[in-house]
Chain A
């Protein structure tokens, strides 16, 4: 019963979130702030992790895939497709669920327990819409850009690690990067980032918005938000992969 209660509550909250804003100019100002807070401030960590992951994928491909029957350009090709298909969309979203998701859940949870949300409600503000809608739009909007940055940084990571480890030359790596490129893979992953972006913002927002109690419950809500968002991301990854590749 618990799960159906939460699903129902979540959709009721989303109905409130997507109601017409009281004042567009205020929402746009909030949106810009959220894009900066949730998106721009994540670029650094996305870049660092992607560079390392690109390097690690390159080394793993070198040690596990390359043999006399396989061309060495498979390293660049494998790195590119791994980054595009799964790492920069799914794994990165899991990471963002931790960073951005816990931030959203704890922010809204703190606002709830300190009665800031109540004070908005009493003023007549649709607090769900004012607080959550800009976050959802910001994360959905910024996710494809983070995906592109991640793919680029991952490829650069491979480009640095491959030649440095002596596994592949720059020219061969670049050949692999441009061989058998399937543009649909990029579209597929961008579609995934939109869905994951929505989950990353909305699920923790739900968890934080309905917190009851004190600081301990805010912490619990934050943890639950990350766990549930991660599970949902993997579930929707499965569903979307099946649907879009069929």
Chain B
């Protein structure tokens, strides 16, 4: 479980996150949603430690990151897997080397053990016969899947995904969502996903945190989102005619 308490962050005097508190549960897909520029990525990067926070606390299963020393932080980071918006695969490494990188760096596994783990991770994300291809030679969807395979290579306790569906077609997006949800449940990981993809919200939103202009506006799950009276959330979630229609149908079904 990850808890954030009264988190604030500013850049050059401009407050980007204002007093955000929330809890992200273990074994569930926790979503952070909000408009572009609302502070989702800053929040995610603050939680993983890429940005220093000015105020507040972040607790990973009760371990406060602000009171950790350097080596404790380093150990914590080895428990974290992250999937970046564009995959962030190393250009100079092929698929196999990318997934093997954390194992090479932090484990004393034998070559055989690494190979077995590599095959397991690549099988799990459905990547076949692409081990020697470079990131520039594979599709966007494959890059995301390789990034997920790399993120789970060291059996992480926490998985972070920054807009995993951006730039993907709807079918591939659904596959990526399903894969993240399955992995979360299978390995009992605390997963936090940053998204503004409404399909993800409906499909895998076990716990949803909505932020607007750097502030927490709403928290709930994908079924509660249909009945909310929060104006900002409604304006965000049901912005498109398609989603408005969807809500009407859903409400009619519920009334019946």
Contact = CB atoms under 8 A, between A and B. Distances in A.
Interface of A: 22-23, 26, 110-111, 114-116, 118-119, 121-125
A111 B88 CA distance: 8
A124 B82 contact: no
* Closest 4 A/B residue pairs (Cβ): A124-B77, A115-B88, A119-B88, A115-B84
B50 A118 contact: yes
B48 interface: yes
Contacts of B45: 118
A110 B80 CA distance: 24
B50 A121 contact: yes
B105 A26 contact: yes
Interface in B215-230: none
B53 interface: no
A122 B49 CA distance: 8
A85 to B, nearest CB: 38
Q: Is the interface of A mostly helix, strand, loop or mixed?
A: helix
A124 B91 CA distance: 19
Interface in B66-113: 74-75, 77-78, 80, 82, 84-86, 88-91, 101-102, 104-106
Contacts of A23: 104-106
Given A23-B104, A26-B105, A118-B50, A124 B88 contact: no
A122 B105 contact: no
Contacts of B105: 22-23, 26, 123, 125
Nearest to A124: B77
Nearest to A121: B50
B74 A124 contact: yes
A41 B170 CA distance: 45
A35 to B, nearest CB: 15
A121 to B, nearest CB: 6
A122 B50 contact: yes
A124 B104 contact: no
A124 B79 CA distance: 9
27 contacts: A22-B105, A22-B106, A23-B104, A110-B91, A111-B91, A114-B88, A114-B91, A115-B84, A115-B85, A115-B88, A116-B89, A116-B90, A118-B84, A119-B88, A121-B49, A121-B50, A122-B48, A122-B80, A122-B82, A122-B160, A123-B77, A123-B78, A123-B80, A123-B106, A124-B75, A124-B77, A124-B78
Contacts of B102: 123
A51 B65 CA distance: 59
A116 B88 contact: yes
Nearest to B80: A122
Given A123-B80, A124-B77, 4 more contacts: A115-B84, A122-B48, A124-B74, A124-B75
Nearest to B93: A116
A114 B88 CA distance: 6
Contacts of B80: 122-123
Contacts of A22: 105-106
B201 to A, nearest CB: 24
